[in-house]
Structure 1
Amino acid sequence: MTAMISTRTLGTGPAAVASGALGLGLMGMSGMYGPAEESESIETIRAAVESGVNLLDTGDFYGMGHNEMLLGRALKQLGLDRDAVRISVKFGAQRGPDGSWLGYDARPAAVKTALAYTLTRLGVDHIDVYRPARLDPRVPIEETVGAIGELVQAGYVRQVGLSEVGAETIRRAHAAHPITDLQIEYSLISRGLEEAILPTTRELGIGITAYGVLSRGLISGHWTPERSTHAADFRTHAPRFQGENLTRNLELVEALRTVAEARGASVAQIAIAWVLAQGTDIVPLIGARRPDRLAEALGALEVELTAEDLAQIEKAVPKGAASGERYATAQMSSLDSER
C-alpha cells in the first residue's frame, strides 16, 4: 500500500465533509472518452482508495447507469467499507437510448426517483453528497435543494452539493439548505469561477470539487496533434480539441512543459499542483482510468509550488489564454455558471 495522502475539508459546520486532497472522477470509465476496460477501472479505484483517495465521484447518466453499476461492483469486489469512501453523485441529465442529451429534470419527484435508482445500482443505503448536474431552468433551485434536504432528513443522503451554477444560484440554494460543495470545472485554462463564484463559495463556507483539472487530457502533457479519438469520445466534438484551437492550446502546454521540467515534474503534475495551490477549500478530481495515470496524478501532491513557480506558470499559461470554449455551444447554454 502506498503512503496515505493528506486530507482537506469541503464545507463548514454540519455540512462539512472530510476528503482526501485529491478525489477520483469516474466518468471516463463509462465511455465518455471511448471504451474503457472494466478490470483496469476497478484496479484504478482500488489503488486510489489504498492511497487515501476517499472521494469517488460519479453521475447517474454516465453510460446511462453503467458508471454507478461499475462503482457498485468495485465496492463489492474490493470489499471496501462503505464508510471508508465518500460517494458523490450527480443527477438530472436526461438521455435517450441513442446516448443523446435531452435536457435536465430536477423536479422534486424526479430527484427522489433518481436517488432510488442510484442507491439500487450502487448497492448502498446512502449517498454522501448528492447534487443536480446542472440547473433546471424550469425548477427553482430552492425546490430542488429542498427535495434533497428531505432525503437528508430521511437518511438517504448525507450532504447537498451543487454543480456548474453561478453566484446568485449558490446564494439561493445555500439559504434553502446548507451546501457542502460546488462541483465546477477549474484548471489553468478554465478559470471562469475566479471572478464571482469562488469569492461567493468562500464567503459562505462552501468547498469546491474541481473537475477537468487537466482539461480532459488536453493539458496533461500526453496529448498530441496526431492523436485520434473514438467516435463516442466527448473530445471528438469539444471546441478546444479542434483545428487551430488545438494547435494554440498545445503551444500553451509546451510552455508549461518548460516549467515542469525545471521542477523535475510532469506537465500533469504541475497542472494539478497549480489547482491544489489555489486554496485548501479546493479538492481536484482526477479523471484517471488507469493505475499509471493515477500514480502520476498522485505525484502532484509532492510538488510544492513557490511564489516564483506560480509566477512562471502564470507566464506560461496566462489567464484567458485558452482557445475555444470548454463545451460546444448547446452545452455552454446549459451552464448557469457561465451566465
Structure 2
Amino acid sequence: MTDATDTRTEPLPLSVLDLAIIGSGETAGDAFANSVALAQRAEARGYRRVWYAEHHNMSVIASSSPSVLIAHIANHTSTIRLGAGGVMLPNHSPLTIAEQYGTLASLHPGRIDLGLGRAPGSDQTTVRAMRRDPAASDRFPEDVLELQAYLAGESRVAGVEAVPGAGTEVPLWILGSSLFGARLAAMFGLPYAFASHFAPGALLQAIDVYRSEFRPSAQLAEPYAMAAVNVIASDSEGDAERQFVAMRRMRVGRFLARRGQELSDDEIDQLMTTPQGQQVAQMMHYSAVGTADVVARYVHEFAAAAQVDEVITAHASATIEERLRSVDLLADAHQLAGTPVAV
C-alpha cells in the first residue's frame, strides 16, 4: 500500500475506545464514573461512538462486562453510539450475546454496536477459570453467523429465538489484529476494526486484504474500516510527552511485572531496555502525542495512509482530567488536514 492524501470531503469520523482504566488509588466504581464523564464529553464534542473492550483478570481495567457497562453509560448519555469493541465471542454462547445486545438495542434503539473478536481477552489461567472451550476459537465464523441470525430473527437453531434480540439487527463488526479477521469481515460483508493501538504489525496488509476481498451484504454495501490510535493531546508538547512516558511505563509494568509486584520507574525503565520491554513499547507504535494541531494532523495522516474510514482514539493518559482535556483538544482541531505520512 502506498501513502495517500486524505481526499475526503466530509470530516473524518472520530470515536473513542474507553479502556475503563482503574487509576492508582482508585476503585472500579471510580473507573465507571470516569467512563460516564468520558462518554458525556465525547457526545458533547461530536465523536461518533464509544466502545468498551472485554478484558478479564486485569487489575487496572474495569471493562470485564461490556454489556453491563454500556447499559450504565447509555442511561447517562442520549445520542452517541455505544458498543463493545469488543465481545470475545468464544467466551460466550451466541444466544446469550444476542439476548444481551438485543436488550440494549431495545432499550436504546439505534445506538448500539456489537464488535466481535475471537481472542480470550486474558491469560490461559483465566481462560480455564471461565470454563472456556479450547476449541471455541475454531468455531468463531460459525458463531458469528449464528449470532447474526438471532439478531435478524432468522434463527439457525430450530425452535430457539433470541428474546429480546430477534429483529433488532444490531450492527456487527469484526475486530482483529491479523489477516484472519480481515478476511472474515470481507467474506461476511461486515465492517472491520483493527486493533492498531496495541497490535500495529499487520495493519496495512489487513486493511488492504479487507478492501480487496470485500463482498457486499445486507448490512453493508461497501467496505468500511476503522483503526485505533493511542492519543495524548495536551496544551504543551512537554506535558504531552510527560503523559506518554507515564503511560508507556504503566503498560510495560502491567505486562512484565509479576502479579502483586510494585516496580519503581527506574526498574520499569530498565525493563524497557530488554527485548520484552521493547516489544511492549512497540505495541504503542501508533500514538499521536503532542498539542492539538500535532495530534489532529497525525490522526488525519494515519487515516489516509492506512486507508480507513474512521479512527477510534484511545485517550491513554493516567488521569480522567487529562483524558477529558485530550478529547477536547482533538475535537477542537479534528478537521485539520495534513500531508501524507508513512504508517
TM interval, short-chain normalised: 0.5 to 0.7
Q: Does 1:304 align with 2:337?
A: yes
Kindly provide the amino acid, as one letter, of the partner of residue 59 in structure 1: A
Partner of 2:96: 113
Kindly provide the amino acid, as one letter, of the partner of residue 303 in structure 1: L
Between the aligned partners of 2:197 and 2:54, the Cα distance in structure 1 is: 24
Give runs of aligned pairs for residues 33-112 of structure 1, distance below 5 A: 35=26, 36-61=30-55, 63=62, 65=64, 67-78=66-77, 80-81=78-79, 85=81, 87-92=83-88, 104-105=90-91, 110-112=93-95
Kindly provide the amino acid, as one letter, of the partner of residue 201 in structure 1: Y
Equivalent residues of 1:55, 1:88 under 8 A apart: no
**Deviation digits for residues 238-268 of structure 1 (CA, Å, limit 9, x no counterpart):** 6998421668969x99xx97xx68xx834x4
User: Across the two proteins, how many residue pairs are aligned to each other?
Assistant: 261
Partner of 1:208: 225
Give runs of aligned pairs for residues 97-176 of structure 1, distance below 5 A: 104-105=90-91, 110-118=93-101, 124=108, 128-134=112-118, 138-153=137-152, 154-164=166-176, 166-168=178-180, 170-172=182-184, 174-175=186-187
Going from structure 1 to structure 2, the CA distance change for 1:65 and 1:171 (only over 3 Å counts) comes to closer
Between the aligned partners of 2:174 and 2:327, the Cα distance in structure 1 is: 26
- CA RMSD between the two structures: 4.4
Going from structure 1 to structure 2, the CA distance change for 1:200 and 1:294 (only over 3 Å counts) comes to same
Going from structure 1 to structure 2, the CA distance change for 1:226 and 1:186 (only over 3 Å counts) comes to closer
Going from structure 1 to structure 2, the CA distance change for 1:119 and 1:60 (only over 3 Å counts) comes to farther
Between the aligned partners of 1:303 and 1:19, the Cα distance in structure 2 is: 9
Q: Does 1:198 align with 2:207?
A: yes
Unaligned runs of 5+ in 1: 1-7, 10-17, 94-103, 320-339
| SS at 1:69 equivalent | helix
Between the aligned partners of 2:91 and 2:139, the Cα distance in structure 1 is: 12
Partner of 1:99: none
Between the aligned partners of 2:167 and 2:252, the Cα distance in structure 1 is: 35
Unaligned runs of 5+ in 2: 1-7, 56-60, 120-134, 153-165, 215-221, 235-239, 258-267
| SS at 2:115 equivalent | strand
Equivalent residues of 2:14, 2:310 under 8 A apart: yes
Between the aligned partners of 2:247 and 2:231, the Cα distance in structure 1 is: 19
Kindly provide the amino acid, as one letter, of the partner of residue 331 in structure 2: L
The Cα shift of 1:118 comes to: 4.8
Equivalent residues of 1:187, 1:275 under 8 A apart: no
Equivalent residues of 1:19, 1:54 under 8 A apart: no
Going from structure 1 to structure 2, the CA distance change for 1:137 and 1:297 (only over 3 Å counts) comes to farther
Kindly provide the amino acid, as one letter, of the partner of residue 105 in structure 1: N
Give runs of aligned pairs for residues 236-251 of structure 1, distance below 5 A: 236-237=254-255, 242-244=271-273
The Cα shift of 1:60 comes to: 4.6
Equivalent residues of 2:42, 2:327 under 8 A apart: yes
Partner of 1:334: none
Partner of 1:275: 302
| SS at 1:223 equivalent | helix
Identity of aligned residues (%): 9
Between the aligned partners of 1:292 and 1:65, the Cα distance in structure 2 is: 26
- Give the counterpart of 1:31 among 22, 32, 48: 22
Between the aligned partners of 1:19 and 1:304, the Cα distance in structure 2 is: 10
Between the aligned partners of 1:115 and 1:77, the Cα distance in structure 2 is: 23
**Deviation digits for residues 56-89 of structure 1 (CA, Å, limit 9, x no counterpart):** 21235463655543432232234x14xx525345
Partner of 1:323: none
Between the aligned partners of 2:52 and 2:113, the Cα distance in structure 1 is: 11
Q: TM-score, normalised by structure 1?
A: 0.59
Q: TM-score, normalised by structure 2?
A: 0.59
Kindly provide the amino acid, as one letter, of the partner of residue 41 in structure 2: A
**Deviation digits for residues 4-54 of structure 1 (CA, Å, limit 9, x no counterpart):** xxxx99xxxxxxxx9971111122x25399845444432221121122212
- Give the counterpart of 2:245 among 212, 224, 233: 224
Between the aligned partners of 2:86 and 2:324, the Cα distance in structure 1 is: 24
Kindly provide the amino acid, as one letter, of the partner of residue 91 in structure 2: D
Going from structure 1 to structure 2, the CA distance change for 1:150 and 1:121 (only over 3 Å counts) comes to closer
Equivalent residues of 2:101, 2:114 under 8 A apart: no
Between the aligned partners of 1:227 and 1:146, the Cα distance in structure 2 is: 38
Between the aligned partners of 2:50 and 2:21, the Cα distance in structure 1 is: 14
